[in-house]
A and B are shown apart, each in its own frame.
Chain A
């Protein structure tokens, strides 16, 4: 059974960089044809896709966040990471990491999720 676990600071100051890591257990991050994704959810609001990475290193980001987002993968540690720069209060949210499986190119769905981690942007 694949499990994902987010980790990182729960409080980030405005204008700084938010950094989170997702550790995958129960399987190799390199096996299979999966995308590894980040999704966030502000309190009381809906889900927002941030971006995804394939184990080859290819990435795709939400255009609204693209200039501030970097997703990377470390296959040796079975982890992938999110960096979001120049954060503001609007970036306060629960951040989820998730595995995406294909339902037929280019469609994919999120079949395994981490429990989520709250990141608050405040001075």
Chain B
């Protein structure tokens, strides 16, 4: 059971917009700690997609955006492309006994 809750799967057609939610609690996202997002293509290491809630590292397309409100955060992907099919993970800091580096359970994005 992950400290951060994500939907197991989402899907969308090419060109559409999808969002992936990440729900936490008062000891992590709700405490004001930043949320970060990673993309993991099959058989590869995770890649940083969004850091500090809404910042994109160099090289990440602006089709990817992040937001945070209250105890939740969201990753939005617009103009969906076949190459976006991957697993997506949110990550934050947790001040409770769960430990510092907590991840969501991951969301499988399928491009129809």
Contacts and interface: CB of A to CB of B under 8 A. Distances in A.
Interface string B88-112: 0101110101111111111000000
Interface in B38-65: 38, 44-48, 51-52, 55, 57
Given A52-B100, A109-B34, A114-B45, A103 B105 contact: no
Contacts of A86: none
Nearest to A94: B45
A64 interface: yes
Interface residues of A, number: 27
Given A46-B2, A63-B98, A96-B45, A106 B93 contact: yes
B52 A49 contact: no
Contacts of A62: 99, 101
B52 A104 contact: yes
Given A49-B100, A64-B99, A109 B91 contact: yes
Contacts of A48: 103
Interface of A: 37, 39, 46-49, 52, 60-64, 96, 100-101, 103-104, 106-111, 113-116
Closest 8 CB pairs of A and B: A49-B101, A107-B34, A109-B36, A103-B52, A113-B45, A109-B51, A62-B99, A47-B103
Given A63-B98, A104-B52, 16 more contacts: A46-B2, A46-B104, A46-B106, A47-B38, A47-B106, A49-B99, A49-B103, A63-B99, A64-B99, A100-B101, A103-B34, A104-B34, A106-B95, A109-B36, A110-B46, A113-B47
